[in-house]
């Protein structure tokens, strides 16, 4: 006769058996907590023993939730678990699951901790100011520099994914100019993120990119014309995996939409709202990327009705909870700016500067 799982209302534990089923529930130890003064840190945590009359526990699995902050844990079994990377304002939860031989959760022990003080704020990691850069035409690969080449702003690669565009990429007094025309092409410039990724834990931190466009123009609205701003693991294709991005995309010849797009073995496009019947003439793109999602938006200060258009989130996997495949240690190696003018159109961009922030978990 099969055993029917039941829920123990007195402990909150699950995974036991119905009365008379021949097995008693596993009960977790009492919940633990720590409230730490500002400037302090959490003491190591060891979980008490689970009550397991039937001897069904086979292993333990711990998971943390950063409510505020970006602290991490290390340890195994019942512990001890130690904490690193915590700061004032930290709020963290650790749940320890007791598992049976089939990895079913029998019961869960809980630890919560908080450190007094203000939560961590976002941190400006890099500013690529093209208005201060050395002027000239860019081609192939190299570095964008200033002070007659003495100082490197960022490495770059000019790429053509498809088509044969008439293309110009250069630095003027107004900033980085990317011009594409006369082809159903995808091409643009990729900016090296090595200097940024060396400052972060890319498996945990959230990166915010603000791309400031001094001017944007196109000659004609045609179907499926678009501009992509993507964080990618490669510099020669907006379809590389993984790629996360914001798209300004003509869904029809008279309808421009702001979209989020992600590639991870397939393409997912999320459209939140239509932007209008013409391209913006300037504005700022926001791209937020982490190990598990992309969030993007657009703000056009010249048109308040269009200001801060929210887009959507696109999860890496269809379940929107975890990567479809484990991301590499450096999931985003480049920031791509890729116009796709389509036949009969052109797109011209001038990017004044790009700011890259690290956003602590729970911060705004």
Which of 66, 356, 34 has its CA nearest to residue 193?
356
Domain 123-359: state its class.
mainly beta
In this structure, the strands spanning 32-36 and 105-115 are: parallel
pLDDT at 306: 53
| Three-point CA angle 43, 46, 51, nearest 5° | 150
pLDDT at 167 (0 to 100): 77
pLDDT given for residue 127 in this prediction: 94
Query: What are the extents of the domains in the chain?
Result: 32-115, 123-359
Structural fold of domain 32-115: Immunoglobulin-like (2.60.40)
Q: What is the pLDDT of residue 4?
A: 34
- How far apart are the C-alpha atoms of 271 and 343, rounded to whole Å? 24
Two tokens, residue 254: 């008279």
CA end-to-end span of the chain = 54
DSSP 149-211: TTEEEEEEEEEEEES--EEEEEEETTEEEEEEEEES-EEEEEEE-HHHHTTS-TTT-EEEEEE
CB 68 within 8 A of CB 364: no
- The SS3 assignment for 112 reads strand
- Alpha carbons within 13 angstroms on the beta-carbon side of residue 321 total 1
Q: Which residues of 165-194 are buried (b: 16+ CB within 10 A; e: fewer)?
A: bebebebeeebbbbbbbebbbbbbbbbbbe
Q: What is the pLDDT of residue 260?
A: 81
Angle at Cα 173 formed by Cα 156 and Cα 136, nearest 5°?
45
Going residue by residue through the chain (364 aa), what tens digit of pLDDT does each one get? 333 333 333 333 444 443 334 478 999 999 999 999 999 999 999 999 999 999 999 999 999 887 777 788 999 999 999 999 888 888 899 999 999 999 999 999 999 999 998 765 677 889 999 999 999 999 999 999 999 999 999 999 998 887 777 778 999 999 999 988 767 778 899 999 988 887 776 556 778 899 999 999 988 888 888 899 998 888 888 777 778 888 888 888 888 888 887 776 666 777 766 778 888 888 888 888 776 667 788 887 655 545 556 655 655 433 333 333 444 455 688 999 999 888 778 899 999 999 998 876 544 4
Residues ≥6 apart with Cβ < 8 Å to 1: none
Residues contacting 239, CB < 8 A, separation 6+? 161, 263, 267
Q: What is the rounded distance in angstroms from the CA atom of residue 233 to the CA atom of residue 251? A: 27
């Amino acid at each position: 006769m099969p055993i029917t799982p039941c829920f123990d209302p007195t402990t909150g534990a699950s995974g036991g058996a119905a009365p008379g089923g021949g097995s008693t529930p596993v009960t977790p130890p009492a919940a633990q907590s720590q409230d730490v003064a500002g400037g302090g840190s959490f003491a190591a945590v060891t979980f008490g023993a689970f009550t397991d009359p039937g001897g069904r526990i086979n292993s333990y699995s711990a998971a943390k939730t950063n409510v505020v902050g970006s602290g991490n844990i290390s340890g195994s079994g019942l512990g001890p678990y130690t904490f690193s990377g915590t700061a004032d304002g930290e709020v963290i939860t650790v749940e320890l699951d007791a598992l049976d031989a089939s990895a079913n959760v029998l019961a869960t022990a809980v630890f919560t901790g908080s450190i007094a003080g203000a939560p961590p704020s976002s941190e400006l990691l890099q500013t690529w100011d093209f208005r201060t850069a050395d002027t000239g035409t860019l081609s192939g690969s190299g570095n964008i520099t200033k002070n007659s080449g003495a100082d490197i702003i960022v490495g770059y690669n000019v790429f053509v994914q498809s088509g044969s565009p008439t293309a110009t990429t250069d630095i003027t007094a107004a900033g980085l100019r990317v011009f594409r025309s006369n082809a159903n092409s995808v091409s643009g410039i990729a900016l090296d993120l090595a200097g940024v990724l060396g400052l972060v834990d890319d498996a945990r931190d959230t990166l915010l990119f603000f791309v400031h466009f001094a001017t944007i123009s196109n000659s004609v609205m045609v179907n499926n014309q678009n501009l992509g701003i993507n964080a990618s693991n490669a510099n020669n294709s907006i379809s590389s995996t993984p790629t996360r991005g914001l798209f300004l995309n003509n869904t029809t010849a008279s309808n421009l939409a702001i979209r989020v797009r992600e590639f991870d073995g397939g393409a997912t496009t999320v459209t939140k709202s239509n932007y209008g019947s013409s391209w913006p003439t300037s504005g700022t793109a926001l791209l937020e990327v982490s190990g598990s999602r992309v969030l993007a938006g657009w703000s056009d200060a010249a048109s308040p009705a269009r200001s801060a258009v929210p887009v959507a989130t696109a999860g890496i996997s269809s379940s929107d909870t975890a990567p479809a495949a484990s991301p590499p240690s450096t999931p985003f190696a480049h920031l791509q700016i890729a116009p796709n003018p389509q036949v009969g159109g052109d797109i011209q961009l001038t990017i004044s500067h790009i700011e890259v922030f690290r956003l602590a978990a729970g911060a705004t």
